[in-house]
Amino acid sequence: MISAAQCRAARGLLDWSQQVLAVRAGVGIVTIRQLEGDKKPRRSTLAVVRNAFDLAGVDFIEANGGGEGVRLKKPSASLAKKPNG
Q: What is the pTM of this model?
A: 0.81
Asked if the model's pLDDT at residue 83 lies above 80, the reply is: no
> Phi and psi for 35 in degrees, rounded to 5?
-60, -45
pLDDT of 76 reads 56
Cα gap 7→60, rounded to integer Å: 9
Domains of the chain: 4-72 (1.10.260.40)
Banded pLDDT at 77 (limits 50, 70, 90): very low
Asked if the model's pLDDT at residue 78 lies above 70, the reply is: no
- For 7-66, write each residue's pLDDT tens digit: 999 999 999 999 999 999 999 999 999 999 978 889 999 999 999 999 999 999 888 777
Asked if the model's pLDDT at residue 4 lies above 50, the reply is: yes
